[in-house]
Amino acid sequence: MTKATILVVEDEGIVAQEIKSRLEKAGYSVCGVAHEGERAVADAEMMTPDLVLMDIRLKGDMDGIEAAGLIRERCNIPVVYLTAYTDSATLERAKVKEPFGYVVKPFETRSLMVSIEIALHRHRSETERIYREKLEAVLETAGAVCHELNQPMMAISGNAELLMGMIEPSDPHYERISKIRSQVERMGAITQKLMGITRYETRRYTSGERIVDLEKSSTTFD
């Protein structure tokens, strides 16, 4: 079992400490304990735990279901509900937020551990699947871009070289044509980097946007 970091969200202080104690005895690391939904979301964003154990009924205006939805949306952290409420209305609300598990109080430590491990495994599998899908999309796009650019780049480069051979280096147009050819060669180097992409890595481009990082994604740089 991997030592996962867990954030415990429970409105009853004594219960929260009991859960924390059980988790630590089972080999997990508890990074924090929150009693309110707003605090749970803030702690999840700051601590980035591997998993959040979330009680549905919490103090304050935000309950565990709403908090779980925000944590999944902002942090992509798996949430396992820990609650004594099993009525159909609560379950329906909980399911909408796509939790990774649901443990009913009172619970045995073993059943809690099983739910946590299943949730962690599901999240890893889901993350890997999304990564593969993104990588496949990048590779398909890179291949299509390189294929479409190759022929016009060859035509421009060939004609530029032909023109350079027809005029003297002292001709004022010679330098301009030479620049055109050098830029086409630069484009060719970029397409080679695109063809060398083997992994999906991104970098910050503008505020709120990310683009594929060729330096980290392409074997051309290795």
29 or 85, higher pLDDT: 29
pLDDT of residue 46: 94
Q: What domains does the chain contain, in order, with CATH numbers? A: 5-107 (3.40.50.2300), 130-221 (1.10.287.130)
Give the pLDDT confidence of 12-58 residue by residue, as tens digits: 889 899 999 999 999 999 999 999 999 999 999 999 999 999 998 88
Locate all alpha helices (DSSP H) within 76-171, ordered by sequence: 88-96, 109-166
Question: Contact 3/116 with Cβ under 8 angstroms?
Answer: no
Residues forming a β-bridge with 26:
none
pLDDT, mean of residues 158-177: 89
Average pLDDT, the chain: 84
Does the pLDDT value for residue 206 go beyond 80?
no
Query: What percentage of the chain has pLDDT greater than the value 70?
Result: 90
Give the pLDDT score at 133: 85
Burial class (CB in 10 A: 0-12, 13-18, 19+), 26: middle
> How far apart (Å, rounded) are the C-alpha atoms in residues 45 and 171?
62
Please write the tens of the pLDDT for every residue from 49-84. Answer: 999 999 988 888 888 888 998 998 899 899 999 877
CB 142 within 8 A of CB 200: no
Q: What is the mean pLDDT of residues 101-125?
A: 87
Which one-letter amino acid corresponds to residue 202? T
Q: What's residue 135's pLDDT?
A: 77
In this structure, of 35-49, 94-108, 169-183, the range with the lowest mean pLDDT score is 94-108
- Residue 221 pLDDT > 60: no
